């Protein structure tokens, strides 16, 4: 059997095969898997000796017991990956993002580890042979515990350390899960690592100076509080909202189980379930008319009649999942981005492909501007691109992020572009000129979801640091951290008419936040 062909065809199909044949030892030794989308792939016990996984998306992948000796993992995304007991002897991992990776009992002989940006990867080493150094320690005997007065006691004990460890020749590392309340002395053959809070400075916000004679009315600040919550059938990866002509407000959630659930937002009653997908529903969009709902998943695109739940047409798409869709203001076309690097434009009425451009890297997010003339896309190469909707011509690029651009949103007036990145920041751009207006810092991990309020004054952001934040776009400041959850916030959406925000994520709950003037 050609295991490479199986893997390239569909990561979910690969995982299903592994589940059905758990005892089969699969070999991908020496194969080229660079830049592949292998999110949450099951590679337990696989032979990956000398394989190229350079720049691959391996977030949440399971490599426990796998042989990765000599593999090329440079620039790969290994956040939350399980590498327990993996053989990484001689592997190249420069530039790999290994936040919270589980490296317990992993063999790292001859590997040079630079963990300066690998938050949550905590380790102790036994029987070290060779030079050892921990960057930033005050002495060779102990690490200094940093205290935080910015976080509540519930989160303070779990903040990860930033460190750099150089390991050379015959080193066997076993990563332990340590909390701030526990510590191990550094000495002899033991390297103790503490759970320390990241104390990187937060960018100061410079407020404008107002002269005494100038009379300025303060901007309206919107406050949010939790109004209600509902339980989804699985993890909620996408959200959309719509208010019908009769005034009923709909809340639509896309789940990891492939189901789309439609709720009456006010009553919390589930109205209907659309079970057409067989993979995670990663994106949803409602046409301005409210007639059509578009959904994207690993099995392609589907267009539904929203009121009846009738499936109008299905569009199979390539090998990689659809990550984002956005519908034009006139409701005639929609655009999509997928992990194969395709930026595609479709006719909504019949699902016909109008244009397609492949940029060679995963496209995580797309957003059509309110004027309907252009749209933007965010991708793994850290770049945002602006496209002409009618011709497919690329108009401009926005460069400045230091990691993949996971989410993009455009203000209702079409002037401001917001982008959220795996570099933990949000950037605000002038959409007309391409000028960077502001970088918003505040999240402690990847920003994966953005939404701008209908009045253009507020920005909501969700992150895998388990927080939902609200920003004032007029002052470009953080207004409030609305939620500190126990799991990732994967989707946010404002109601198109009312001052209401909805959020959801891995804990399967959909939360409705009502806004009031203060």
pLDDT band of 484, cuts 50, 70, 90: confident
Strands (E), 28-131: 124-126
Residue 234 CA to residue 38 CA, distance in Å, equals: 21
How confident is the model at residue 501, as a pLDDT? 95
Residue 209 CA to residue 211 CA, distance in Å, equals: 7
Instruction: For residue 110, count CB atoms less than 10 angstroms from its CB and return exposed for 0-12, middle for 13-18, buried for 19 or more.
Output: middle
DSSP letters of 106-138? -B-TT-----TT-TT---EEES--S---BTT-S
Residue 414 CA to residue 374 CA, distance in Å, equals: 10
How confident is the model at residue 122, as a pLDDT? 43
Q: Does 184 score more than 60 pLDDT?
A: no
Query: pLDDT per residue over 202-241, tens digit each?
Result: 343 343 333 333 333 344 557 889 999 999 999 999 999 9
Which neighbouring-strand residues pair with 274? 260
pLDDT band of 113, cuts 50, 70, 90: low
How confident is the model at residue 118, as a pLDDT? 53
Residue 455 CA to residue 457 CA, distance in Å, equals: 6
The pLDDT of 328-343, averaged and rounded, is 96
- C-alpha closest to that of 340 among 60, 46, 9: 9
pTM attached to this predicted model: 0.68
The proportion of the chain whose per-residue pLDDT surpasses 90, expressed as a percent, equals 60
172, 127 contact by CB (below 8 A)? yes
**What φ, ψ does residue 191 adopt, rounded to 5°?**
-110, 115
Q: Which residue has the higher pLDDT, 215 or 294?
A: 294
For residue 319, CA distances in Å to 14, 36, 275, 308, 342 come to 12, 10, 21, 30, 11
Query: pLDDT per residue over 449-473, tens digit each?
Result: 999 999 999 999 999 999 999 999 9
Strands (E), 290-421: 292-297, 300-305, 310-315, 322-327, 333-338, 342-347, 353-358, 363-368, 374-379, 383-388, 394-399, 405-410, 416-421
Residue 161 CA to residue 179 CA, distance in Å, equals: 10
Which neighbouring-strand residues pair with 241? 251
């Amino acid at each position: 059997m050609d295991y490479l062909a199986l893997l390239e065809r569909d990561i979910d199909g690969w995982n299903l095969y592994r589940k059905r044949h758990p005892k089969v030892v699969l070999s991908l030794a020496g194969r080229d898997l660079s830049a592949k989308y292998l999110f949450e792939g099951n590679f337990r016990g696989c032979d990956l000796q000398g394989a190229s996984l350079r720049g691959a998306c391996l977030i949440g992948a399971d490599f426990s017991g796998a042989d990765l000796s000599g593999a090329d993992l440079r620039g790969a995304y290994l956040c939350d990956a399980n590498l327990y007991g993996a053989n990484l002897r001689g592997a190249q991992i420069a530039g790999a993002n290994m936040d919270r990776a589980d490296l317990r009992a992993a063999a790292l002989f001859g590997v040079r580890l630079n963990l300066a940006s690998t938050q949550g990867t905590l380790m102790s080493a036994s029987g070290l042979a060779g030079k050892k150094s921990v960057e930033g320690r005050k002495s060779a005997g102990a690490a200094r515990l940093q205290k935080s007065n910015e976080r509540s006691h519930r989160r303070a004990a779990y903040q990860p350390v930033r460190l750099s460890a150089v390991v050379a020749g015959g080193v066997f590392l076993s990563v332990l899960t340590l909390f701030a309340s526990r510590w191990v002395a550094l000495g002899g053959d033991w390297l103790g690592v503490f759970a320390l809070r990241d104390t990187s400075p937060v960018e100061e916000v410079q407020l404008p100076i107002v002269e005494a004679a100038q009379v300025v009315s303060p901007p309206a600040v919107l406050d949010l509080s939790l109004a209600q919550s509902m339980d989804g059938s699985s993890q909620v990866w996408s959200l959309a909202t719509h208010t019908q002509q009769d005034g009923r407000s709909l809340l639509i959630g896309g789940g990891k189980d492939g189901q789309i659930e439609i709720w009456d937002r006010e009553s919390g009653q589930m109205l209907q379930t659309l079970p057409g997908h067989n993979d995670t529903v990663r994106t949803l969009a409602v046409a301005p008319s409210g007639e059509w709902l578009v959904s994207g998943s690993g099995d392609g695109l589907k267009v539904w009649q929203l009121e009846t739940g009738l499936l109008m047409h299905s569009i199979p798409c390539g090998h990689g999942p659809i990550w984002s869709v956005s519908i034009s203001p006139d409701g005639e076309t929609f655009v999509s981005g997928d992990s194969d690097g395709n930026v595609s434009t479709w006719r909504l009425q019949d699902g016909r492909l109008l244009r397609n451009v492949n940029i060679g890297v995963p496209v995580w997010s797309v957003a059509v501007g309110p004027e309907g003339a252009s749209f933007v896309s965010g991708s793994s190469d850290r770049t945002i691109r602006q496209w002409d909707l009618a011709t497919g011509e690329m108009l401009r690029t926005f460069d400045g992020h230091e990691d993949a651009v996971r989410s993009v949103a455009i203000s209702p007036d079409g002037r401001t572009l917001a982008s959220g990145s795996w570099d933990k920041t949000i950037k605000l751009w002038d959409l007309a000129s391409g000028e960077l207006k502001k970088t918003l810092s505040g999240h402690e991990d990847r920003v994966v979801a953005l939404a701008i309020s209908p009045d253009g004054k507020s920005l909501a952001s969700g992150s895998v640091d388990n927080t939902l934040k609200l920003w004032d776009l007029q002052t470009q400041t953080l207004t409030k951290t609305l939620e500190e959850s126990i799991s990732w916030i994967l989707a946010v959406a404002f109601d198109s008419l009312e001052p209401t925000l909805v959020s959801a994520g891995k804990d399967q709950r959909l939360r409705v936040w009502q806004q009031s003037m203060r």
